[in-house]
């Protein structure tokens, strides 16, 4: 048993904090596992929902954008394959964002009764979305077989875009989770962002389509656009272009938002319990 003195006072050192996070890493898995296990409890279809949701989303989008808006006419590959990378990233991002932003309030009973580094809670929200993302990938492969499409080596880079999408959700979600403790307005805003965000992100269409518009540079500032463009490039190979401007803006967004949010989180975490 480790014998070390803990000093409790206002304001703690950062080094100790991260050491403690590391020591309690098991809790990260446990909390993540809990979220996964709880998800499909008392459902008839169980994990099948993990398949149904992305599949239905993709089908609806193919129908709405491909058939009704007739975007599929100038697509050289089946439109389903264009949509799925967008759906993978979008579902993963939006789910992580809502989970993370609600994580502190949702686990208020823990926060007010037990001590552990609070940042483990939003971190652990990763697992649920990740599991769904993996299922969505499997769906993509099934469609690849169906359409006899063979992905290129780019696919090896897919995890990078998944991680970046997660970090973007983490950066903004963490900030929101802190605000949400005090201002429950956040709980109203997030569903709104999730509901309409995909219209301003290239989920169901390729960003190639809008590249000649004057607002295209602004459009590229959307971090989700960067992640989706990247994912589409990695899954579809030569059928999608790598969009450098959006990728760079994604990188910048991730670095700034994650660092800022962690600072902001650390600054406020000790007073969470007074506002819950």
Q: Enumerate binding residues for another protein (CB under 8 A).
A: 1-3, 5-11, 24, 26-27, 30-31, 34, 37-38, 41-42, 107, 109-116, 179, 182-186, 270-271, 273-274
Given the complex with another protein, which of 17 and 143 has the nearer CB atom?
17
21 by Cβ neighbours in 10 Å (0-12 / 13-18 / 19+) ranks as middle
To the nearest whole angstrom, how small is the minimum distance from the Cβ of residue 254 to another protein? 25
SS3 letters for 135-163?
Answer: HHHHHHHHHHHHHCCCCCHHHHHHHHHHH
Given the complex with another protein, which of 25 and 67 has the nearer CB atom?
25
Given the complex with another protein, which of 33 and 67 has the nearer CB atom?
33
d(C-alpha 207, C-alpha 203), whole Å: 9
Given the complex with another protein, which of 185 and 208 has the nearer CB atom?
185
User: Residues 95, 129: contact at Cβ < 8 Å?
Assistant: yes
Question: What residues contact residue 120 under an 8 Å CB cut-off, 6+ apart?
Answer: 21, 24, 27, 28, 31
What tokens were used for 120?
Answer: 């483990």
To the nearest whole angstrom, how small is the minimum distance from the Cβ of residue 198 to another protein? 24
Given the complex with another protein, which of 144 and 189 has the nearer CB atom?
189
To the nearest whole angstrom, how small is the minimum distance from the Cβ of residue 110 to another protein? 5
To the nearest whole angstrom, how small is the minimum distance from the Cβ of residue 39 to another protein? 9
To the nearest whole angstrom, how small is the minimum distance from the Cβ of residue 124 to another protein? 11
To the nearest whole angstrom, how small is the minimum distance from the Cβ of residue 113 to another protein? 4
Given the complex with another protein, which of 7 and 68 has the nearer CB atom?
7
Closest-CA residue to 167 (of 260, 51, 29, 53):
260
Q: What separation in angstroms does the CA of 179 have from each of 12, 95, 102, 275?
A: 21, 18, 10, 11
d(C-alpha 96, C-alpha 209), whole Å: 28
């Amino acid at each position: 048993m480790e014998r070390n003195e803990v000093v409790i006072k206002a304001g703690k050192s950062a080094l100790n904090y991260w050491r403690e996070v590391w020591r309690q890493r098991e809790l990260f898995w446990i909390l993540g596992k809990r979220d996964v296990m709880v998800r499909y409890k008392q459902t008839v279809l169980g994990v099948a929902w993990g398949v149904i949701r992305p599949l239905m989303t993709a089908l609806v989008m193919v129908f709405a954008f491909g058939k009704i808006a007739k975007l599929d006419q100038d697509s050289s590959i089946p439109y389903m394959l264009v949509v799925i990378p967008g759906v993978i990233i979008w579902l993963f991002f939006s789910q992580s964002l809502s989970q993370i932003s609600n994580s502190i309030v949702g686990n208020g009973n823990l926060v007010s009764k037990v001590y552990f580094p609070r940042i483990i809670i939003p971190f652990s929200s990763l697992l649920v979305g990740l599991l769904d993302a993996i299922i969505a990938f499997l769906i993509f492969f099934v469609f690849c077989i169906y359409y006899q499409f063979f992905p290129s080596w780019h696919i090896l880079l897919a995890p990078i875009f998944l991680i970046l999408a997660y970090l973007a959700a983490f950066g903004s979600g963490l900030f929101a989770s802190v605000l949400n403790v005090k201002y429950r307005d956040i709980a109203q805003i997030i569903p709104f962002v999730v509901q309409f965000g995909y219209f301003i992100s290239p989920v169901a269409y390729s960003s190639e389509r809008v590249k000649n518009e004057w607002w295209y540079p602004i459009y590229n500032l959307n971090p989700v656009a960067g992640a989706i463009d990247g994912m589409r490039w990695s899954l579809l190979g030569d059928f999608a272009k790598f969009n450098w401007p959006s990728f760079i803006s994604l990188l910048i967004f991730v670095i700034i938002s994650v660092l800022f949010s962690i600072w902001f989180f650390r600054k406020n975490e000790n007073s969470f319990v007074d506002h819950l």
